[in-house]
Structure 1
Amino acid sequence: MPFRAGSDLEDGETVSAQDDVDDVAEFAALLRTLKERTDRSYGSLARRLAMNTSTLHRYCAGEAVPLDFAPVERFAALCGASPEERLELHRRWLLAVAARRQPRTASPAGAAQEASAAAEADETEHAPNGVDGPSEVPAEEPPLPRHPWYRRRRVAVGLAAACAVLAALGSLAALPDGRRTPAGDRAGAAGPAPSGTPESEAQDRRGASPGPSGSSPAPRRSTPSATPKQPKPSPSPSTRTTPPTGGSAPAPPLTWSADSQAWKLGCGHDYVIAKPPGQVPPPPAPQDAGVWAASQNAVHGGETLVRLTVQGRTDTAVVLEALRVRVVGRTAPAQGNAYAMDRGCGGSITPRSFDVNLDKDRPIARAVAGNDTGTPIPAVRMPYRVSARDPEVLLVNARTQGCDCRWYLELDWSSQGRTGTVRIDDKGRPFRTSGIKGLPRHVYETSARAWVPYS
């Protein structure tokens, strides 16, 4: 933004606001250019940026300028801006923020009039009664300052409140130990009272020990350097004033649950079991798959579908930043037989999911779009926002052909300046998926009520 020196201003001239308007307009124009590259609406973009739709629209219209560059950076990344465009966007944002913070310059004539009026008002307020101007007072006896009435009243009210507090503390301190209230305990725990006050005398009386003959204790002489004993706190838990030590870290602002026994389209799945077909019971219903697999020591064959449900603890938005895959073990595929839960099933709806190839050295969770009777279902692309009223269900499909892999997921989140990572696993253990290539495969024949080779 061009800067005009003060020597160029004449006759109360101020810097024109046209330059400021141009800076804000150029920043908003670049935001609209990036937005038009995508096929998303303002509402879709705002949801992924964790902001209101109206706020994003005001930024792009030049009606407002964000005070923080973080949402602008996320907006540029979501719109696929190049490094050069991000640099130019940052430069225009700096100019736009400076333009919105530019103060309005008052004319010299108006400033002089305001200063003159303030000086006259100050002289009138400090002038004695019946005199129009400041009175002449001898130097050796300066006049006492006259405060406004509301200041005098504030001082009086403060003194009255202080006296009331001191009286209450003195009466509470004089109570016996058995009748002391929590408020009295807190007052005693705050520190010793000054010597000479009723509270300090009561503490001296409580701190003295009786003589052997049971007579009243001898009075203690308080000196400026002596510190009276503090009363013992009440043993009741309700009177505790200090927090417990060793507090744990705050819980993350989101909750999650994972179901690793999901079947493809609700009916198709393979398990590897180290038993002959005659010892394996019939396939279970999908809702009983977990119990059935645990009883047979079954391992997911070929793929594992994890249905992940994420939800915020409150209405505050939590942004899901990234979903990562961690493989913690690779061995040869498990030996046994592969048992198919069905001969095959199909459906008109293919849900959107994250596809993971565990055979890669560094597998990643790749977002895959779904399909609803020919209508594409957009993929769940990070970042994504959840809350207590807006949960999200993510389907992760991890597959392998050549290993017995043990793995888990990591979900990065951010909310209100906090960031963190939660581990998604199978009830404290890694997920397990084994390849079935080359293994005998069987399917259950309902008419014969037996497992038969898969054809």
Structure 2
Amino acid sequence: MTAQDDGDGIDEVAEFAALLRAQKERTDRSYGSLARRLGMNTSTLHRYCAGGAVPLDFAPVERFAALCGATSEQRLELHRRWLLAVAVRRRPRAAGAAEVVHDAVDGPDAAVEGISEPGTAAEADGGPVAEMDPAPRPPCAPAPPLPRRPWYRRRRLVVGLASVCAVLAMLGALSAVPDGRRASADGPVRVAGPTASGSAEARAPERRGASPGPSGTPTSERPSGPATPKKKPGTSRPSGATSAPPRGEQGAAGLPLAWSANSQAWKLGCGHDYVIAKPPAQVPPPPAPQDAAPWAATQSAVHGGETLVQLSVQGRSDTAVVLEALRVRVVGRTAPAEGNAYAMDQGCGGSLTPRSFAVDLDQDRPIARAVAGNDSGTPIPAVRMPYRVSAKDPEVLLVTAETDSCDCRWYLELDWSSQGRTGTVRIDDDGRPFRTSAIEGLPRYMYDTLGRRWGPYS
């Protein structure tokens, strides 16, 4: 295969992988979540999307496209690209290219990669059987050149030889154990001497996994330092900080999941309103979305009209944790906050509407209602409870709470179950309820970037 063929082949596989990635990005699912629904390993799906492998059958690609909501035209394009990528993968190599690859593999490391059992490679070609060299040699010395065998057969012998060398090296290290110890079949044994009477006590930490310190005193493998105080389940640093660790630290019972909440999310990353009890001349320009939390804190700002909470949930191990239900608790309703409404944008729109949980705080008993999203006319399925998460398959839930009539304080409750255990975690704003205030009837301003001042919202 010529260099030009190689380049074309790489382009075809890359184009197919790019289409898969584009379909994956249409959803907010992780690779693990998609792979579980497709019935394949996460690493396999990742290799398909990265161009490292091409599925030999179109069926998994068809299921992947359906799960991502691909249109008929997009599925046809996927099928066409898949045919070209498969053809590239099945294209036979030319003799010259195969010889170059063979020499590259068996070149500088031929002493290791060329090791093979006598007879099998020659017998496969009908040639004479090679005999082993009767002269003794060290166990780890390179073997003399023998008939080459396929790489997948040579690999077993290479791994076996490496294991033998590792065992011999370990035995040599054990024979020189410090502090008067010698190696034996039963493990480290202390030689009789002034400290022989304490051998039982000295060996006990070793069986527990302790290691001797600089002075010969066994020390624990756990790092030393000041004890870290335990947190209550569901408490952490302010949710607006992007570097905050997952909340829901293990308490006495040990939660099987961790979570974090960001209450300073903006719609589509650009649209949001704050109620601030200051005139426009005293309010600084709008911040970047990632700086919304400190900006709002310095201005004593209240979410105006709606609050978007990004809730990240994941298990602490590979064991699945089932998210059973998401509930809303309103703890206070008062008259809307006084002040002015300041818009963080001059109009924000797009073809993508993410799926979310919609909450109407004006209802007597508000509920978190799952709402489907939309991507340029293609629906994005709503989140359906119960939903499974684990350490390798986290989930990000978006909650949009709105009000037109009150200054509402509220929080969320997340029910979970795992391995026969059940529980509920409270999702709030760093120990405080979330706060959302209506902006109906308030003066509303937007920032004029040319004049560098706040002006009436048009």
TM-score (norm 1): 0.48
Flag the structure with larger Rg: 1
TM-score of the two chains, using structure 2 as the length reference: 0.48
